[in-house]
Amino acid sequence: MKNLKNSPNYIFILVILALLIDNMLYGVIVPIVPFYATSLGITTTQIGWIFGIYSLALLLASTPMGWAVDAYGYRPLLTAGMLGLALSTAAFIYSGSLPLLLLSRTLQGTSAAATWAAGLALISEIFPSEVRGQKMGLAMTATGLGVIVGPVLGGFLYQAAGYTAPFVPFLVLGLLEGILFYFSPLPGRSSSTSSGKIGFSILLKNRNLFWASMISVVGAFGFSMLEPTLPLQMGQRFGLSSAGVGAIFGAMSLAFSLSQPFFGSLSDRRGRKPLIVIGLVAVAVLSPGLALAPSLWVLFLVIGLLGIGTGAFATPNLPLLAESTEAAFSRTPDAAVDGGDDAAKASDSPLGTAFGIFNTVYSFGLMAGPLVGSAVTQRFGFLPLLLLFSLMLLVTAAGSARWITETLRQR
Q: Give all domains of the chain, ordered by start, each with its CATH number.
A: 2-182+200-403 (1.20.1250.20)
**Would you state the pLDDT for residue 47?**
85
Q: Is 176 exposed, middle or buried (0-12, 13-18, 19+ CB in 10 A)?
A: middle
Predicted confidence at residue 330, as pLDDT, reads 59
DSSP designation for 235: H
Rounded Cα gap, residues 199 and 356, in angstroms: 10
Give the per-residue pLDDT at 194: 45
In terms of residues, how long is the chain? Answer: 411
pTM above threshold 0.85 = yes
What's the confidence (pLDDT) of residue 218? 96
d(CA 302, CA 183): 46
What is the signed CA dihedral for 298, 302, 305, 309, rounded to 10 degrees? 160
- Cα distance between residue 62 and residue 77, in whole Å: 12
Distance (Å, whole) CA 284 – CA 370: 19
Across the chain, which distance is largest between two alpha carbons, in Å?
62
- Displacement of CA 211 from its chain's centroid (Å): 17
Rounded CA-CA distance 107/5 in Å is 29
Going by C-alpha positions, the residue among 371, 408, 138, 389 that lies closest to residue 280 is: 389
- pLDDT digit string (tens) for the chain, length 411 residues: 445 456 889 999 999 999 999 999 988 887 888 888 888 998 878 888 888 889 899 999 999 999 999 889 999 999 999 999 999 999 999 988 999 999 999 999 999 999 999 999 999 999 998 999 999 999 999 888 888 888 888 888 888 888 899 999 999 999 999 999 999 988 766 444 444 455 556 656 789 999 999 999 999 999 889 888 888 888 888 887 766 777 788 888 889 999 999 999 999 999 999 999 999 999 999 999 999 999 999 999 999 999 999 999 999 999 999 999 888 775 444 444 433 443 434 456 788 888 998 999 999 998 888 889 989 998 999 999 999 999 999 999 999 999 999 987 543
Query: Rounded to an integer, what distance in angstroms lies between the CA atom of residue 28 and that of residue 147?
Result: 8
For residues 55 and 362, what is the distance between their CA atoms, to the nearest angstrom? 10
